[in-house]
Structures are given as C-alpha cells and as structure tokens.
C-alpha cells in the first residue's frame, strides 16, 4: 500500500463547478498535512496546510479525518486558473524533515 | 517573501561532465532540501540539510554530491551522470509557521538533460 494515495484524475470540470479531492495516508502517526499545487513544468507551491479542525481559505476548504486517515480538498466556484495538479503531502512524525508526496490529482477546468 | 532561488534554470551536460546546481535562500530557514522530479511523478527527496548538517541521504548514488557552504546556500555537484538522471531538480527550504508546522517552499528548479 502506498504511503499517500490520491486519485490521479484527470478531473474535468466546467468553470463555476465545485470539485473535491480525497487523499488517504497509511501511517496513523502522521502529524502534518498539506495540499500543494503544481502547474505544468513549474515547482510545487503550498496551497494550504491542513489543520485538525479543518480550515478554509477563500474558495478552498481542507478537512482532515484522522480516524479514517484521509484528507480532503474542496474547491468552490472553479476558475480556469485552478487547472493544475494538486499534491497531497504528509509529514511523518518520526522523521520530521521528510515529506511524503501523493502522486497528485490533475484538475482541468474548462470554459 | 518566501523566495528560493535556483541556478541555472536549464542545464545540458554530457555523461563525462562535472557541473553544479546552486540554491539560495535568505529567509533564515533552518533546513534545505534537494528533490528530483520526473515527468508526471511527484518529487522524490534526495538530501536534507538541517542547520547546515546533512541529516537525510535517501540512498542517492555518489555521482550526486550535496554541499551546504552556509545556512543560505545549498549546492548539488554532478559528475558522471546517466541519461536517466535527466529530470527537474528542485531545491526547497523550510521553517516553522506560527502553528508549529514545518513548511517547505520550493525554488523554480533546474531542468537537467544528460546526453
């Protein structure tokens, strides 16, 4: 089983749609969780940290479910500029400098 | 500002060449990282320096040699690479945010082609 699993997509959605991505992780002791966004041939950029209580940043909402070991990202009112690959990232508690990346979920927003 | 600067942006080298990738950050971050990323794959960790000391080497072949001259600079020395080493090489640095999370910020990367 992979340490961090994501549906690779692609998710093709129209502008204005709401889209949700899920990610599961295998190590129950994992402590830190993030969503990064990566555009084609660019570097990953931090989109959101994911806190236990859930957090929202504008159109983006992240949730953490420790019991089921999954993280979600909800994007409301999708824009063309949201088209990118979304990487689910987990920090293992016993090696604090090492991030484990999911394979990414590709989102394509069309007009 | 969370800027990590990498040079060069592109590099083409032969299998007998020696070259170096450079990474710089002036944010006072305590840790710096090298990652390798192949097309359509997530980044793979290669090395971590924490407070200028090598803390993680992910069993990387010796043809890749990291160096951390000071807390702001990180180099990756390349020698006798293979064509399969062609990839995007990403540098990152990290610091603790206000809520106790260690956040990594990436540079734009060096796109390396080995001929």
pLDDT at A95: 57
Q: CB–CB of A66/A53 below 8 Å?
A: no
**Residue A29's pLDDT band (boundaries 50, 70, 90)?**
confident
Give pLDDT tens digits for B24-83: 999 999 899 999 999 999 999 999 999 999 999 999 999 999 999 999 999 999 999 999
Note whether B102 contacts A96, CB cutoff 8 Å: yes
**Residue B97's pLDDT band (boundaries 50, 70, 90)?**
confident
Chain B residue with CA closest to A97: the answer is: B48
pLDDT at A92: 78
Tell me whether strands A11-14 and A105-110 are parallel, antiparallel or unpaired: parallel
pLDDT at A31: 85
Checking if the pLDDT of A94 tops 70, the result is no
Q: Which of B42, B45, B108 sits opposite A87 (nearest CB)?
A: B42
- CB of B103 within 8 Å of any CB in chain A? yes
d(CA B42, nearest CA chain A) in Å = 5
d(CA B3, nearest CA chain A) in Å = 11
Contacts of B104 (CB under 8 A, 6+ apart): A46, A99, B33, B92, B93, B94
Note whether B101 contacts A32, CB cutoff 8 Å: yes
pLDDT at A98: 87
Q: CB–CB of B37/B45 below 8 Å?
A: no
Checking if the pLDDT of B95 tops 90, the result is no
Mean pLDDT of the A28-42 span: 93
pLDDT at B35: 98
Note whether A102 contacts B42, CB cutoff 8 Å: yes
Burial of residue B46 (CB within 10 Å: 0-12, 13-18, 19+) is buried
Note whether B41 contacts A42, CB cutoff 8 Å: no
Mean pLDDT of the A82-90 span: 97
3-state secondary structure at position B97: coil
């Amino acid at each position: 089983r992979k340490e961090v699993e994501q549906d690779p997509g692609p998710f093709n959605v129209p502008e204005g749609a709401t889209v949700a991505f899920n990610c599961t992780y295998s190590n129950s002791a994992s402590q830190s969780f993030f969503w990064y966004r990566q555009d084609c041939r660019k570097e990953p950029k931090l989109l959101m940290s994911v806190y236990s209580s859930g957090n929202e940043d504008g159109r983006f909402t992240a949730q953490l479910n420790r019991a089921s070991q999954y993280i979600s990202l909800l994007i409301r009112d999708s824009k063309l500029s949201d088209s990118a690959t979304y990487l689910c990232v987990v920090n293992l508690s016993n090696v604090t400098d090492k991030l484990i990346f999911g394979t990414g979920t590709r989102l394509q927003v069309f007009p | 500002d969370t800027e990590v600067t990498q040079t060069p942006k592109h590099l083409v080298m032969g299998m007998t060449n020696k070259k170096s990738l450079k990474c710089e950050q002036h944010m006072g971050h305590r840790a710096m990282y090298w990652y390798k990323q192949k097309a359509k794959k997530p980044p793979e960790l290669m090395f971590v320096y924490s407070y200028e000391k090598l803390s993680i080497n992910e069993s990387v072949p010796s043809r890749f040699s990291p160096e951390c001259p000071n807390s702001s600079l990180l180099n990756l020395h390349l020698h006798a690479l293979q064509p399969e080493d062609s990839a995007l090489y990403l540098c990152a640095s990290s610091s603790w945010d206000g809520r106790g999370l260690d956040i990594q910020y990436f540079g734009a990367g060096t796109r390396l082609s080995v001929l």
